Amino acid sequence: MRKRGKRYAAARRKIDAPKGYDFSEALGLVLDMSYGKFDETVDVAVRLGVDPRHADQMVRGSVVLPNGTGKDVKVLVFAKGEKEKEAEEAGGDFVGNDDLIQKIKGGWFGFDKAVATPDMMGAVGRIGKILGPRGLMPNAKIGTVTFDVARAVRELKAGKIDFRVERAGIVHATMGKVSFGVNRLLENLASFFETIVRLKPASSKGTYMKSIAISTTMGPGIKIDPAYVKSILR
């Protein structure tokens, strides 16, 4: 069993474990308990009442967080011709085609997200086994396979996140940094939960959001009562 440090134990003692907090109260606690010597990331975990083994109950999507994630995202774009220029002007960090594919084959992964135009996917597919396991493969379902490369790059730079329900029915997502403060984190959470609610599968019966927890990189999780979701939706 993993042994926790004294600061983690002290933080945990501040939590009323059985209680289901509201979002503002939970975030206040999360920020108060942050003890890392760096700007910790704030994460949310949502257990959904879905069975991901069934295709019609798969919850997957993306959302542009209004305040970003606090991370400088390096975006790579597979494109050619005029689309290369568009991607560069939009702020793409690495733009190219066959040259980038060869570089990745050689073991380079100096980027966080990848975008591709549809006409590049035949070539990009050849390195799918390299990009896929790292979560870097462009995907039309989350808007990273598109001819509107400028928009895709700007959204990723602005704080677009992708999420997908895991086998256990849980969705994990980053909501920002401790330095954001309660209000900016609440705005990000509102956008995230609006998307989660909108993506509820028609075949999902019973309680959709079963449990919610918020935590920082180093700190313990704090339970939020799912009934409070409605209170933060715009």
Q: Express each pLDDT in 2-25 by its tens digit.
A: 566 676 666 666 666 677 889 999
- CA 121 – CA 115 distance, rounded (Å): 10
What tokens were used for 229? 């979701």
Domain boundary residue, one of 102, 136, 157:
157
Q: What is the mean pLDDT of the segment spanning 114-143?
A: 94
If asked whether residues 29 and 140 sit together in one domain, one would say no
Domain boundary residue, one of 157, 182, 201:
157
In this prediction the pTM is 0.84
If asked whether residues 79 and 61 sit together in one domain, one would say no
Q: Are 48 and 114 in contact (CB under 8 A)?
A: no
Q: Which ranges of the chain does DSSP label H, i.e. alpha helix? A: 6-12, 23-33, 82-90, 98-105, 121-124, 128-131, 149-158, 181-198, 229-232
**pLDDT higher than 90, residue 34:** no
Comparing CA positions, the residue from 143, 201, 145, 194 lying closest to residue 173 is 194
Q: Are 105 and 130 in contact (CB under 8 A)?
A: yes
| Full residue range of the structural domain in which residue 116 is found | 75-157
